[in-house]
Amino acid sequence: MYRTHTCGELRISHIGQQVMLSGWVQRIRNLGAMTFIDLRDRYGVTQIVIDESSSSAVKDIADRLGREFVVQVKGIVIERASKNSKLATGDIEVKADVINMLNISEIPPFTIEDDTDGGDELRMRYRYLDLRRNTVKNALLLRHRMAQEVRKYLDHQNFIEVETPFLIKSTPEGARDFVVPSRMHPGEFYALPQSPQTFKQLLMVAGFDRYFQIVKCFRDEDLRADRQPEFTQIDCEMSFVEREDVLNTFEGLIKHLFLQVKGINFTEPFPRMSYSEAMERFGSDKPDLRFGMEFIELGGMLKGKGFGVFDNAEYIGGICVQGCAEYTRKQMDELTEFVKRPQVGASGLVYIRYNADGTVKSTIDKFYTSEDLMSVANKMGAKLGDLILILAGAKNKTLSALSELRLEMGNRLGLRTKDVFVPLWVVDFPLLEWDDEAQRFFAMHHPFTSPHPEDIHLFKTDPASIRANAYDLVINGVEIGGGSIRIFDRELQQTMFDALGFTKEEAEKQFGFLLNAFRYGAPPHGGIAFGFDRLCALFGGSDSIRDYIAFPKNNAGRDVMIDSPSYISQQQLNELSIEIRRKE
Ligand code: ASP
C-alpha cells in the first residue's frame, strides 16, 4: 500500500492519525535542526517535517532527497506551529517516521512551481514535467470537468455518442486536408477529417436523430497564434429540427456548462443578431459585446464639406470612446500608428475631442465648423470628455479596421475583463462568398448548409445575397461554435454544388456517397460544432488554447517532445510506394 491519503487531503481533523502519503518532492528546506519537505501530488502539497527526534534513518534519507524525487512518507499528522493559510493543508504537517525513496530524479530543466523559470519551448519539450505544475494541471482538470458535463447534458437530452472514422476521403471542405498514404492501395490516400460533417449527416439519414461526439479534427492550415493542426470539437447533429430547435438545445448546453463549471447562471435567452447587423454595428461577425462603442455611420453628415478623404470615401464610421478627450498628443499618435498597421489597414485616423469645457477640437477643424462637429458629437451620443474616432475608406476594409480600433480601445480602457461573459448568436450569414482570385464562389460555412427557403430563387440572379440558415455562437468576441440547418434535398444540394462551380462529375466523385444517401429518405436535419479547446480556454480565462491541450504542437506545427513530424525509413517508404523528392 502506497498511501492512505492524498497530498491535498489532510486537515486539522486528521491530527493524531498515522498516515501514508506518496508523491514528488517539490522543495526541501534544511534549517539545521529541522528539515521541511513539500510533498506534491495531483491533489495538493503537504508539508513533511523531520526534526531532532526523528530517527537517523529518516534524517539520512532526507539528506539525500532532491527535487522531484518520488517518495513515500509514513508518519503522524500534527498541528503546525506557523500555519499557512494559502495552502489547503496549511494547518497541519506530517512528522515523518519512515521515508521510502521510490525513485530518484535528475534535476528538472525548470522549476516545477506555479511561477516557473522555463520558457515555452523548454516546457513543451518536457511537457510531462510542465503538466505537474498547478496552472497546467488545473487547465486539464477544467477540461475534464467540461467534457463530463457536456456528456451528461447531451446524454440527458437523448443524444448518443457515435464515433466516426479518422481515415476518410479527401474532400474540399475549406481547409487543406492531412493525408495518409495507403500501403494496401499504392498511390491512394486517406484524408484525416476536417470535421465529421458528412458522417453526422449520414447518421441522420440512418435515423439516429440526436448525435454527438467529442472528436479530434484535423486541418492543415498555416498556423496562426491560436491554432492547432489537430483540435477537438463537440460535434452535434439533430433531425426534424428547425433553427430554433438547434439554438435552444445548444444554448441549453452552454448555460448548463456555465452553471455547473463556473457557477454562472444565465437566466435570459442569449441575444441574436444577424450577420449584416453585426457587420454594420461592430464591423465583425464575432462582436465582443462586453462593451459598447458601436459604429455610427457618419457619411451623411461629413461628406460635401470639401474634405477629400471623406468626400471620396465609400464609408465613414466613428466610435465614441468615453472619457478619453484628454488623450495626449502621444497617445493619439500611437492610435494613428495602430490603425495604419497592415493588419488593421486604415490610411489614417480622424478624431474629435469633446472637451470637458464643452468645446470641440478635431484634426479636421479646417473643413468643419464647431457646429458641424457638435452635431457629429450629438449624433454619436458623446458626453463631455469623450473622444470620437473616425475612419473612412472602402466599406468592408473600413468596417474591419474600425472593429480592430474598437477592440484596441476596449483593451486600453479595461473593458474586456475575463470574468464577464457575454454570449451572442450571430445568424443569417451569407451562403456564398466570392473569391476574386479563384473567380468563383465558396461556401461561407460549408457546401451542405441550407439557404433560407425564401432566398433559393436568388441562385439564378444574385447568389451573393442568398442568406444561409447558419449560425455562430460568439462569446466575448470569440467564435465558440457554428453550424447550420442542412440541405436534405438532392436537387438543392446539386444546385449548391453548381453554384460552387463543381461539375456534375466532380460532385459525384467527391460527394456521391452523400447524394446517394439523399435518395433514400433523408430527414430534415441540422447541427452545430463547438471548438472544445477554445471553450475550455474561455472558461479558464486564458487566450491560449494550448494550455488546455495535454500535448500541443508549437507554432510551427511541431511536437517538440516526441519530435514530430519526422522522417520515416526507406523501408516504410518502399512499402507505401512513396519516393521523396529531396530538395537540392
Ligand atoms: N462541421 C462544421 C465545422 O466544423 C460545423 C457544423 O456545421 O456542424 O465548422
Domain with CATH 2.40.50.140 in the chain: 12-103
Confidence (pLDDT) at 172: 65
- Residue 330's alpha-carbon distances to 319, 326, 327, 347, in angstroms, are 20, 11, 8, 18
Confidence (pLDDT) at 174: 74
Domain with CATH 3.30.930.10 in the chain: 136-273+422-547
197 CB near ligand 1 (under 6 Å): yes
Q: Which atom of ligand 1 is nearest to the CA of 217?
A: 4
Q: How is residue 465 annotated by DSSP?
A: G
- Residue 283 has, within 13 A of its CA and on its CB side, a CA count of 28
Residue 130 CA, ligand 1 centroid: distance in Å: 33
Confidence (pLDDT) at 32: 85
317 CB near ligand 1 (under 6 Å): no
For residues 150-165, one letter each, b for 16 or more C-beta atoms within 10 angstroms of the residue's C-beta and e for the rest, the string is beebbeebebeebebe
482 CB near ligand 1 (under 6 Å): yes
Specify the CATH number of the domain 136-273+422-547: 3.30.930.10
Specify the CATH number of the domain 12-103: 2.40.50.140
Ranges of the chain whose pLDDT falls below 70 = 172-173, 225, 584
Q: Which residue of 216, 243, 445, 450 sits with most ligand 1 atoms within 8 Å of its CB, as the best mutation to test the pocket? A: 445
Specify the CATH number of the domain 291-412: 3.30.1360.30
527 CB near ligand 1 (under 6 Å): yes
483 CB near ligand 1 (under 6 Å): yes
Confidence (pLDDT) at 584: 67
Q: What is the C-alpha to C-alpha distance for residues 422 and 288, in angstroms, rounded to an integer?
A: 8
Extended beta strands in 355-400, E state: 360-362, 386-393
Q: Which atom of ligand 1 is nearest to the CA of 236?
A: 8
Residue 334 CA, ligand 1 centroid: distance in Å: 39
Residue 406 CA, ligand 1 centroid: distance in Å: 29
What stretches of 94-226 show up as alpha helix (H) in DSSP? Answer: 120-125, 127-130, 134-156, 197-205
54 CB near ligand 1 (under 6 Å): no
Residue 528 CA, ligand 1 centroid: distance in Å: 6
Q: Which atom of ligand 1 is nearest to the CA of 528?
A: 8
Q: What is the C-alpha to C-alpha distance for residues 144 and 313, in angstroms, rounded to an integer?
A: 51
Domain with CATH 3.30.1360.30 in the chain: 291-412
- The residue contributing the CA closest to ligand 1 atom 7 is 483
Confidence (pLDDT) at 583: 77
Do 233 and 217 meet the contact criterion of CB atoms below 8 Å apart?
A: yes
99 CB near ligand 1 (under 6 Å): no
444 CB near ligand 1 (under 6 Å): no
Q: Which atom of ligand 1 is nearest to the CA of 449?
A: 7
Which cell is 333 given?
499618435
Do 393 and 350 meet the contact criterion of CB atoms below 8 Å apart?
A: no
484 CB near ligand 1 (under 6 Å): yes
Residue 124 CA, ligand 1 centroid: distance in Å: 30
